[in-house]
Amino acid sequence: MSVTIYHFPKSAPSRNALLVARALGLDVDVHIVDLAKKEQLKPEFLQINPQHVVPTLVDGDFTLWESKAIAAYLVRTYAKDDSLYPKDPQKKALVDQRLQFDIGTLYPRIRAICFPVLYLGEIEIPDEFRAPVDEALGFLDVFLEGNDFVTGNTITIADYALAASVSSIAAVGWDISPYGNVSSWIAKCALAIPNYAEINQKGADEFGKAVRSKLAPGQI
């Protein structure tokens, strides 16, 4: 089955959606949308997605955006089983909670540091933005205590999403070594998630390089 994903490799949410699609064995037609060049504002893309965000999925005559929604849709529609996104109410709720943690806590704190550097000309990271990232990593470290993955010992779409976020800030140069569970988990994800190096790590490294190139010396 073939689907189309409009994708920006430096974007953690975009990499998340593409990772899930590839893991399901889908034939993915990838269209690169370069946010740095404002290609998301081109009329032809606005016709597809008036909110002009990536990732955007087109599956036949169905269009969807927001990476977590895309991941859940793809698993429900194309997965051979429900291991990546369980149907059991409690297991599903825990996956949803971890996804909401990424949406509402971890990723916004990473973005608060990186977006102004990439797009608004900032060259320093304000001290008040550093502690919230470390706090979020600390929460994740607790979630992982005694577990291989973020909801237990089976990998789910929550791991895909959170791995994309954590690998991004790590690629910027953030020290995640104080969070032993997080460090061990991200290494497990690199082995367990298909195409991790090609899709996620490569994009995270590009993202990290772009952020570091704009920061003043000594900021990381």
Confidence of residue 38 (pLDDT cuts 50, 70, 90): very high
Q: What is the mean pLDDT of residues 180-204?
A: 99
Known catalytic membership, residue 11: yes
Output 188-193 pairs: Cβ under 8 A, ≥24 positions apart. Answer: 188/148, 188/149, 189/149, 189/155, 189/159, 189/160, 189/163, 190/163, 192/149, 192/155, 192/159, 193/19, 193/23, 193/155, 193/159, 193/160, 193/163
Q: List, for residues 48-90, the tens digit of each pLDDT value.
A: 999 999 999 999 999 999 999 999 999 999 999 999 999 999 9
* Catalytic site residue from 11, 67, 165, 167: 11
Q: List, for residues 109-131, the tens digit of each pLDDT value.
A: 999 999 999 999 999 999 999 99
Q: What is the mean pLDDT of residues 29-58?
A: 98
pLDDT of residue 220: 84
